[in-house]
Amino acid sequence: MENKTWNERKKMICELVEEEFYVPMKEKELAVLLQVEPSEREELRLLLKELLEEGRLEQTKRGKYVKPESTLLTGTFISNKKGFGFIEVEGQSEDYYVGEAHVKDAFHLDRVQFRPLGRRQGGRMEAEVVKVLQRGMRQVVGTYQKSRSFGFVVPDNAKVASDLFIPEGCSKGAVDGHKVVAEITDYGTGGRRQSPEGRITEILGHINDPGVDILSVVKAFDIPTEFPERVLSQAERVAAAVSESDIAFREDLRGLTMVTIDGEDAKDLDDAVSLVKENGMYYLGVHIADVSNYVQENSALDREALQRGTSVYLVDRVIPMLPHTLSNGICSLNAGENRLALSCLMQIDDGGTVVDYQIKETVINVNRRMSYTSVRKILEDGDEAERREYEALVPMLEQMQELSRLLRKKRSGRGSIDFGFAESKILVDSQGKVTEIKSYERNVATKLIEDFMLLANETVAQHFYWLEAPFVYRTHENPDKEKIQKLSAFIRNFGYYLKSSKEEPHPKELQKLLGKVEGTKEEALISRMVLRSMKQAKYTTECTGHFGLACRYYCHFTSPIRRYPDLQIHRIIKEQLRGRLTRERMEHYRGILEQVCKQSSDTERRADEAEREVEKLKKAEYMEQFIGEAFTGVISGVTDWGLYVELENTVEGLVHVSTIPYDYYYFDESAYEMIGKESGRSFKLGDTVRVRVKAADKLTKTVDFELELEDEM
């Protein structure tokens, strides 16, 4: 086949089968027509398989490829415990409702082909499942319940519509209360008409054993925890100390003063920073661990890293992308040790503009390991003891703060959106029990590192964009106009307005809004609504810009220990620096980067969802001890089934509408308000209320509140 990208080849095949002259063909006939070389036959097979899975082609009973019926669409089925479900279609903001009678044999997360049925009364689009193209779940994680000679697994995932039946002899010796992994052997009938069946493949431990709760989440998301022996062996072999031959051709920056600045408990230190100010110019160095020196393309280490895609940071553990021998060892920029790096050396003027830069392979030796807390004490608190401890570094740190402010001001000027959410930190004891949940704000130290990393990422992305080399970019599409219109209608309830325009929304308008709400009681609420109105960032081979950062060029360059895209582009950078990025190598990268982007985006979503699930679980567990106690919170969500209230410690719970006394309440969707029919009492987003903890359940990861009204006090 011609030298085209993976997606271009798929598009070419789809266009071929839609031509009037096309007659249904088998794979071999297509290979002849497309002049596919024998060495490329396997690639054609994979292309056709993927097109079938996506529903863009169909196969007849005789194995011939034809275009699908025009009325059929493809999407992901999301089931509901009550038997019905929804189908999400990539690129469409509205999903399709699937009634129980139309679910057929679809299971949660299946890739399905479906037929739209028009809009039902009330406006939602309806559909029926035609065919399951690909199973989305191969196993279920849940709690085993024994019943005579058989049993059931009650899924942890509330979206799975029914329990999994475990026949006699398939329980692996599990007893009541065991957390288990069960392979699905029969998906049953859609909805709740026939239970799926399975067999237990792994017993994680009893539901009350320490750590089993989080392990269950990890298994549910199919996140690999153990490294294969061959990967560990390879990591041991390559993790040799830096030798003279390693550094022979590199720029030697060991004489340059530099520090790492991370959290106190961080062990994988993949970035260091240096700064010199001369004649009004800032010479900023962002030095990133050269992980690609140790993880060679297509090695066992590399294949495992691509499968994982990212490190996963949970409350009581880190599941690393690379074995600790590398991530906490030779690849970690530990103070006082020679390390190989890729350095982005930038010259910045007093307006925060990069006027010159170099990207180099270097050898470095970090002077001091510093924490965010120490840097904050030096720069923000003026702590004398801390300033004495790091006396030699204080002038550089103060210049870093100066430069950080310049960079932040410049980004703000172009419209970059900066969310100032208070994040939560969950502290646990040795048994995994939550001891405290506290919110913490970003400080001068975290902002400083963030500013420098953003600048390095932009600089590297811009450099490779103009080289027209194959690359992995971090892109963030413009939000849907419909979502921005809904946001605009919502904020009018608080007296705020977005500049109306028929053109694409500009990030500066959202930035101005966040500036207006800063310090108000509705700040967190409106900030969250702005975030929800935007699309998710992803990895792509096309440089289409980053809406949230209001920049044209952006990539992830600064964390190759924990993110695969960074590791991938380090290889491209090094080949270009060494003059080895030939036409052949560029074609090689064009052939693999689409899949790298997809895998990296998918594993990032998986990690984010797992982290959110663990956080909800631990917050519910923590609140179990406060049942009956009252707290002050802010209404963070209003729906027709009740009010969501967020406490100061970031725990969110539901006040069900049926528990609000003295009246019948209805939901005004246009104003996001719950209103009493008789009393006229209303509850709006952002209102401060007193609530009492009614229930908390770590299994369902939910917290229930009830309102404390003045009438009751």
- Which pTM was predicted? 0.83
C-alpha 521 chain-centroid distance: 28
The Cβ of residue 527 has, within 10 Å, a number of other Cβ atoms equal to 20
Higher-confidence residue: 190 or 86?
86
Res. 37 pLDDT band, cuts 50 70 90: confident
1 part of a folded domain:
no
Closest C-alpha among 162, 208, 155 to residue 180: 155
Bridge pairing between strands 281-289 and 164-166: unpaired
Closest CA to 494 of 469, 465, 524, 467: 524
Tell me the average pLDDT across 696-712.
85
* 8 Å CB contact between 200 and 174: yes
The candidate with the shortest Cα–Cα distance to 634, out of 537, 523, 494, 533, is: 523
In this structure, the answer to whether residues 242 and 359 fall within a common structural domain is yes
Average pLDDT over every residue of 337-346:
97
Residues 457 and 556 in one domain: yes
Number of compact structural domains in the chain: 6
- Residue 216 falls within a domain, yes or no? no
Residue 221 in domain = no
Query: What is the span of the domain harbouring residue 508?
Result: 481-534
440/519 same-domain check:
no
Domain of 117: which CATH number? 2.40.50.140
For residue 245 the two structure tokens come to: 């031959």
pLDDT tens profile 211-231: 999 999 999 999 999 999 999
pLDDT (average), residues 482-486: 81
Residue 114 has pLDDT above 70, yes or no: yes
Write the DSSP string, 34-79.
TT--GGGHHHHHHHHHHHHHTTSSEE-TTS-EEPPPTT-EEEEEEE
pLDDT at 345 over 80: yes
Tokens of 101: 């009678």
Residues 385 and 417 in one domain: yes
Residue 540 lies in a domain: no
Torsions phi, psi for 570 (to 5 deg)? -60, -40
- Predicted local confidence at residue 597, as pLDDT: 96
Q: Where does a domain end: 66, 87, 103?
A: 66
User: Following DSSP, what letter does each residue of 610-673 receive, concatenated?
Assistant: HHHHHHHHHHHHHHGGGTT-EEEEEEEEEETTEEEEEETTS-EEEEEGGGSTTS-EEEETTTTE
Structure tokens at 98: 């699937």
Burial class (CB within 10 angstroms; exposed 0-12, middle 13-18, buried 19+) of 596: buried
Q: What is the pLDDT of residue 616?
A: 94
- What average pLDDT does range 650-656 have in this prediction? 93
Domain match, 267 and 359 both: yes
Determine the Cα–Cα distance for residues 645 and 654; give it in Å rounded to an integer: 6
Chain centre distance of CA 670: 30
pLDDT tens sequence across 302-334: 999 999 999 999 998 999 999 999 999 999 999
Query: What DSSP designation does 704 have?
Result: E
Assess if residue 684 is contained within a domain. yes
Q: Look at residue 38 and tell me if it is in a domain.
A: yes
Residue 713: pLDDT band with limits 50, 70, 90: very low
539 lies in a domain? no
Choosing from 90, 108, 134, the residue where a domain stops is: 134
Residue type, 685: L
What is the pLDDT confidence band of residue 528, given thresholds at 50, 70 and 90?
confident
Residues 106 and 173 in one domain: no
Model pLDDT, residue 500: 62
Q: Please say which residue of 574, 589, 613 terminates a domain.
A: 613
Is the pLDDT at 370 greater than 80? The verdict is yes
* 163-175 confidence digits (pLDDT tens): 999 999 999 999 9
Tokens standing for residue 83: 């038997």
> In 85-112, which positions are buried (b, 16+ CB within 10 angstroms) versus exposed (e)?
bbbebeeeeebbbbeeebbbbbbbbbbb
Could you read off the pLDDT of 591-632 as tens digits, one per residue?
Answer: 999 999 999 999 999 999 999 999 999 999 999 999 999 999
Confidence at 1, pLDDT banded by 50, 70, 90: low
pLDDT bucket at 152, cuts 50 / 70 / 90: very high
Instruction: Please give the span between the terminal C-alpha atoms of the chain, in angstroms, as a whole number.
Output: 77
> What pLDDT does 612 receive?
93
Report the percent of the chain where pLDDT is more than 70: 95
What pLDDT score does 711 carry? 55
What angle is formed at CA 271 by the lines to CA 267 and CA 274, rounded to 5 degrees?
A: 130
How many CB atoms lie under 10 A from the CB of residue 71?
9
